[in-house]
Structure 1
Amino acid sequence: MTLGSLADTHTIRSPAHVEYGSGAVDALESFARDRGIDSVLVVTDDHLAASGVIDTPVARLEAAGVDVVVYDGVAPEPKLAMAEAAAEQVGDRDLVVGVGGGSSMDTAKLAAALAAHGGPVRDMLGMDNVPGETGPLALVPTTAGTGSEVTHVGVFADERDGGVKKVVFSPFLFADLAAVDPDLTETMPPGVAAATGLDALTHAIESYVSVLRTPYTDTLARRAVELVAENLRPAVAQGPENDEVRANMSLAATLAGQAFVNSGLGAVHALTYPLGMECGLGHGLANGVLLPHVMRYNVPAEVDRFADLADLLGEQRRPGESDRAFADRSVEAVFDLLADVNVPTSIAEYGDFDRETFADFADVAFEHSEHNIDRNPRRMDREDVIGVFEAADEGR
């Protein structure tokens, strides 16, 4: 095990209050009472609204005597217009509550900022362009993967720029309350459980090898990797029948989110940009498919760390096995996990690509996510990125 240096001073960024565990959603009632909240906008998607998943959060808010209005216009891979529409619904309401996956929580963050400061929305894109505090914000995840409840980041497709994903990043987007209640993940379909779990694993692994890692992020990332390795398979296979594995996956997602928001990510997240845009591939699934291929590229730069990851992923070192050989098995462990949760190991499953397409993909990755490439443990140029896409096209 290799941990970051304790000799340096590091900043820890986090929400004001995290409530975790079965029944954590109940914290919404006391939060609303203590803050004197009278009216709330709940930001979610139409599936969660129709299926009744939001009923428990809404009931807790209403128990505090709060008037609740629901905006259910969020869709996967959210667009800036969704945040603008949600902000219009905020009006003079005292609290915004995002309930759902990363899409709903990100939309709630940006809606709260727009309601507090006005637009135009594109002025808030990028790093530290939210001008100040928002109104009170609470986030309640119903999936186990994005970690958005503990981050100060939102990702949106910009309709005016061909659907290119843009990031809003500001300390003013941290929630006042993150209520992580694994009971709310019961209705996740197996495919969603797999994709979101692989999202959490990607966050943890990229945090652990990021050039900006710290002892704090190392500790969170290591435990998150262990939890995903031990629990994602049964979470996908058993779902609502296994409370323990769902609770562990919720914890893994939150730990990984807290890790990466303090360490940064890496090349996997840069390369998902063009893959999501061109193929319509969801973020978590794109992360999962690309993860082992980027890991394979990175192993030579961080042999000790990838050997750690092999161990955390459940691999057993063989007698006389070198550190490098054991590090390489971290990649195989992720390939095995993908297969077990029915996720392809090749991007060829999602499109017919060629080198020219991958060259375009590389340009998009550098244009829109170069900061993630800069945090990758092994330096990458345009040809390196093309090579990773070609390897991902071939598959395992």
Structure 2
Amino acid sequence: MSQFHFQSVPQLISGLGSIQELKILFTKQCYQHILIVTDAGMLQHQLHLPIIEILDKLQLHYSLYDAIQPDPSEAIIFAAVNFAKAQTVDLVLGFGGGSVLDVAKVIAILAHPQQQQTLADLYGIDQVQLPRLPLILVPTTAGTGSEVTPISIVTTGETTKTGIVSPVLFADVAILDATFTQYLPAATTAATGIDAMVHAIEAYTSKLKKNFYSDHLAKQALLLLNQNLPLVLKQPADLAARQNMLLGAMLAGQAFANAPVGAVHALAYPLGGHFHIAHGHSNALVLIEVLKFNAPHAKHYYAELIQWLDPRCSGSVDGLCDLFIDHMQRHLNQSGLILQLSQLNIPESSLQLLAEAAMQQTRLLQNNPRPMQLEDALAIYQAIY
């Protein structure tokens, strides 16, 4: 535990209204053409206008690219990169949810005029080479933590996703401003909040790279998320709680960027790939059964987490582990999310296919505290059907 490596973004800016810090960032460097990567929803709700106002006041040239879709495909990335190259941009600003931020990272690499790599060259771990364009990321959901992770997830086929994992993907600056999250639908707030909780839990139990620093980040993230998710679901306009959610999601992102996630994500990815269930919702669906599966190997960690969240809890390790799982079940029950596959029009005949797809997520499963076999994955899907 005393020997570890830890990496993150070099600059974090957090606080309500902190988007105004862009004025300082843009005047420190002489950028000629800024690309704002976002999605149509951001433009429809005019959430991008504070950024445009700053750029206009500084008389900076910019282009908007809003064609990013959830679970971005290679085709979406190719189109975005070609657009960036045609505009000759020299800074990429990602403004949106996790999919937008993931694409912005890849654009910053592939749109650099001296970059020789192709998208296919980037897949895997530590395959990305410099140079890349300067990169600023502004999340508009409190969930993925993508603004502080060195990871981009690409949909590489009709049902498959592939990761790009490299420190080159760390942004130069991440800005956390909850004024952009206040109009999120309740289901999105809930799903992304659960997603962030999963990041914290899986980082804390990560088998290969769990470390002293990631543990502290994961615990603090889970504490913030645990306290504030119920608040924002009851009072969506509570900006203080929403800022705490953004901070918690970011801390969880830092934690799992260094102590990677495991079986919850491995079983969630096929649900997104095959049935287009949002990533946070997919995590919520499998979370409890994976916690139960991992308990024989991770119960001491779960016991530590419930005592961190509620110091009044006491008892045996087994009892505390059960309390933690029950506690997370209550969060799910209060989320309003559908928690059964049968209620999402997923045929029971597809469970074997989902289990086989989950077992292909070896990058994730190697981090799980308990080894998982095909029959284990199938039993989990059956339990939530």
Normalised-by-shorter TM-score class? over 0.9
Match of 2:128 in 1: 130
- Does 1:292 pair with 2:283? no
Where structure 2 has 5 or more consecutive residues not aligned to the other structure, the ranges are none
Correspondence 1:1-396 to 2 at 5 A: 5-6=1-2, 8=3, 10-91=4-85, 92-116=88-112, 117=115, 120-158=118-156, 161-211=157-207, 212-240=209-237, 242-314=238-310, 316-317=312-313, 321-354=315-348, 357-367=350-360, 369-393=361-385
CA drift at 1:39: 1.2
* Aligned residue type for 2:250: T
Residue by residue, what CA displacement relative to the aligned partner does 1:211-233 show, whole Å, maximum 9, x if unpaired? 12101000000011111111101
Alpha-carbon offset, residue 75 of structure 1: 1.2
Aligned residues: 380
Q: Is the 8 A contact 1:102 1:147 kept in 2?
A: yes
SS at match of 1:112: helix
Counterparts of 1:203 and 1:149, CA distance in 2: 14
Q: Any idea what SS the aligned residue of 1:129 has?
A: coil
The CA deviation string for residues 25-55 of structure 1, in whole angstroms up to 9 with x for no partner, is: 1222211211211210100000101211111
User: Normalization by structure 1: what TM-score?
Assistant: 0.92
Structure 2 letter corresponding to 1:126: G
Deviation at 1:118, TM superposition (A): 5.3
Query: Aligned AA for 1:214?
Result: N
TM-score of the aligned structures, taking structure 2 as reference length: 0.95
Distance 2:353 2:159 in 1: 15
On the 8 A contact 2:338/2:344 being kept in 1, the answer is: no
Deviation at 1:352, TM superposition (A): 4.1
For 2:289 and 2:8, locate their aligned partners in 1 and report how far apart those are by CA, in whole Å: 30
* Range with bigger deviation, 254-263 or 118-127: 118-127
CA RMSD of aligned residues (A): 1.6
SS of equivalent residue, structure 1 residue 163: coil
> Residues 352 and 48 from structure 1, CA distance in 2 versus in 1: closer, same or farther, beyond 3 angstroms?
closer
Structure 1, residues 336-367: CA drift from partner, whole Å, max 9, x if none?
A: 1111121233223223443x633322221222
What are the ranges of 5 or more consecutive residues in structure 1 without an aligned counterpart?
A: none
Shifted more, 381-390 versus 60-69: the winner is 60-69
Q: Tell me, in whole angstroms, the C-alpha distance in 2 between the residues paired with 1:155 and 1:138.
A: 18
Percentage identity across paired residues of the two chains: 33
